[in-house]
C-alpha cells in the first residue's frame, strides 16, 4: 500500500506543476502587464507627436543611437535616426503649421520583452491629408521595433519598416 502512494504522489505533483506552468504561460505575468501598459503609453505618445507635429517629442522617443531599416520599396536601406529625423522634420513642421494632418496608429501581432527591453511586431497605419482634404499618403506597413527602457523611459533602438500590409492584415490585428 505504501509503495502505491509513493508512486502516485510524484504523478500528482507532476500534474500540478504542469498545470501551474501552463496557467502562468497562458496569462501574462504582472511584470508583462506593466510592460505592456508602459509600451501602450509609449506608442500613444508617438501617435500624439505625429498628429500634433511635435518634432521634439517624436525625436525624444528614439535612443540617440537608433537605426531605421526600410525594406518596403525598391531601395532597401538602413540609416541612423539622426539622418531619418532630418528627412522627416518638414512633415512635422507642416503638421504643426496646419498645412497637413498626419496620423499614425499601431496594432501588434507579437510583443516580447522584460522590464527593460522589448521587441514589438505589428502593423502601423499612416495617413497624411493636406489642408484641402486631399490624401497625400495612406497605407499600412509591417514593422518591428526594438526598444530599451533607460532611467524609466522607453526608447526605440531600431525601427524596421518591412513590407506593405493589406487592409485585411490590418483588420486582423484588432486593437
For 5-28, the pLDDT digits (tens) are: 434 333 333 333 333 333 344 467
* Tally of domains in the chain: 1
Is residue 102 domain-resident? yes
- As given in the structure block, the three cell numbers for residue 67 are 537605426
- pLDDT tens-digit map of 120-146: 999 999 999 999 999 999 999 999 999
The verdict on pTM exceeding 0.85 is: no
CATH of the domain at 144: 3.10.450.50
Kindly state whether residue 17 falls inside one of the protein's structural domains.
no
* Domain assignment present for 21: no
Question: Domain range spanning residue 61?
Answer: 28-172
User: Among 108, 60, 103, which Cα is nearest to 81's?
Assistant: 60
Domain assignment present for 80: yes
In a domain, 81, yes or no: yes
DSSP structure string for 90-102: HHHHHHHTTSEEE
Residue 78, domain member (yes or no): yes
| Residue 4 in domain | no
Q: Is residue 13 part of a domain?
A: no
Amino acid at each position: 500500500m505504501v509503495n502505491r502512494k509513493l508512486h502516485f504522489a510524484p504523478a500528482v505533483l507532476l500534474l500540478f506543476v504542469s498545470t501551474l506552468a501552463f496557467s502562468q504561460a497562458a496569462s501574462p505575468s504582472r511584470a508583462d502587464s506593466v510592460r505592456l501598459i508602459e509600451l501602450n503609453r509609449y506608442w500613444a505618445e508617438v501617435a500624439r507627436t505625429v498628429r500634433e507635429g511635435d518634432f521634439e517629442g517624436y525625436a525624444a522617443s528614439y535612443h540617440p543611437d537608433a537605426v531605421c531599416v526600410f525594406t518596403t520599396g525598391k531601395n532597401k536601406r538602413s540609416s541612423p535616426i539622426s539622418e531619418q529625423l532630418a528627412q522627416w522634420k518638414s512633415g512635422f513642421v507642416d503638421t504643426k503649421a496646419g498645412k497637413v494632418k498626419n496620423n499614425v496608429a499601431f496594432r501588434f501581432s507579437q510583443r516580447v520583452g522584460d522590464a527593460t527591453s522589448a521587441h514589438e511586431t505589428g502593423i502601423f497605419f499612416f495617413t497624411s491629408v493636406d489642408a484641402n482634404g486631399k490624401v497625400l499618403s495612406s497605407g499600412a506597413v509591417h514593422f518591428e521595433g526594438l526598444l530599451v527602457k533607460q532611467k524609466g523611459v522607453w526608447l526605440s533602438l531600431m525601427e524596421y519598416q518591412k513590407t506593405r500590409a493589406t487592409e485585411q492584415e490590418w483588420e486582423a490585428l484588432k486593437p
